[in-house]
Amino acid sequence: MLLWMKNLRWRQRLACAALAALVCAPVWAGRETIQVAGSATVLPFASIAAEEFGHAFSRFRTPVVASGGSGGGLRQFCRGVGSNTIDVANTSRPMRAAERENCRRNGVSNIVEVRFGLDAIVFASHRQTPAFALLPEHVFLAAARMVPQDGALVPNPYQRWSQIDAALPDVEIALLWPAANHGTRETLEEKVLLPGCAAFAAMGALDETARRAACTRLRRDGRVTEIAGDYTETLARLAVQPQALGVFGLGFFEHNRDRLRVATVNGVAPTREAVAANRYSVARALFFYVKGEHFGLVPGLREYAAHFLSPELAAPLADAGLTPLDEAARQRALAALREATEAQTR
């Protein structure tokens, strides 16, 4: 009996040791796999880059790409240096000063910013509805809570698009707008609502913050629906609400042309050429940020960043809806990256 107990103790001890080893192993061992997280818009592009990187370099593991939003990715990125923090953050907007400060406080100060392309945001309706030819002021008048009328701000009276402009289709106003968790919403404010708002003299009378608030406050009478999910959810909504106008990424629209009709903005249809030539205005730059402190820690990080910008990747990334950098900008980004990695090694 005593022997058995002793035996059990020993076994228990062994089990405890095994469990402890299991728990501690990942903390001690250096990491082999690059970890990337951030914007859901960048996720498809970063996934393609990660996969192609894995195919091109047999000596490195294929990176893992997680979602979590631009802000969420940068929060993880700035948590500190070490193998239990991520190496690359994807964002659909540049890093803010407060985020840089947060990073620096946690010891992440060598941050390499790579701007790798442009992403266009499109307005699209169901295939059955007539085409929209939008101007920023149309969208502003359809979406804002208070609109200028005869020099004064009044609660939004518009019910149909044709009331805003006779040239627009005579259908009920219904907008499927990205919710606040999406970076897309910010881009829409910057590139559509604020320019649309600026067209009205009544708005010019307000001071800066009040104008911004008035321009970006959305109506609450049920004509603007906020979508917290992904573009698939917007598409599903369009199927049951065919007169609605939804917001999509260019890549998503191109893969679902059979269900969607795209709207022009300022008379320009969203194509990659129009985005590259800066003619289509509702576009934003996409970035990824590499943690310089990890260049020596995680194998392949330098190569991953450079491979993202390589010409072989241009075709698959464009197929996924990205407007890649032009050659000069690409060379500049590569040179900046090289400089940053050399500075770190020195």
**Residue ranges that bind other proteins, judged by CB under 8 A:** 22-23, 25-27, 31, 33, 35, 37, 43-44, 46-48, 50-52, 54-59, 61-62, 64-67, 84, 230-232, 235, 249, 251-252, 254-258, 315-316, 319-321
Strands (DSSP E) found in 179-282: 224-227, 245-249, 260-262, 264-265
Residue linked to tokens 């910013």: 113
Residue number with CB closer to other proteins (200 or 252)? 252
Residue number with CB closer to other proteins (268 or 320)? 320
Residue number with CB closer to other proteins (26 or 204)? 26
Quote the least distance from Cβ 279 to other proteins, whole Å. 21
**Which residues fall within 8 angstroms of residue 251, CB to CB, at 6 or more apart?**
44, 119, 320, 321, 322
Sign, CA dihedral 93-143-124-133, equals negative
Quote the least distance from Cβ 338 to other proteins, whole Å. 19
* Whole-number Å distance between alpha carbons of 109 and 153: 47
Query: 301-308 vs 43-56: helix axis angle to the nearest 10?
Result: 120
Residue number with CB closer to other proteins (26 or 130)? 26
Quote the least distance from Cβ 92 to other proteins, whole Å. 15
Residue number with CB closer to other proteins (138 or 291)? 291
Quote the least distance from Cβ 160 to other proteins, whole Å. 30
C-beta separation of 248 from 234 below 8 A: yes
Quote the least distance from Cβ 93 to other proteins, whole Å. 21
Burial label, 84 (beta-carbon count in 10 A; 0-12, 13-18, 19+):
exposed
Return the SS3 of 278: coil
Structure tokens belonging to residue 24: 């501690």
Quote the least distance from Cβ 128 to other proteins, whole Å. 14
Residue number with CB closer to other proteins (83 or 162)? 83
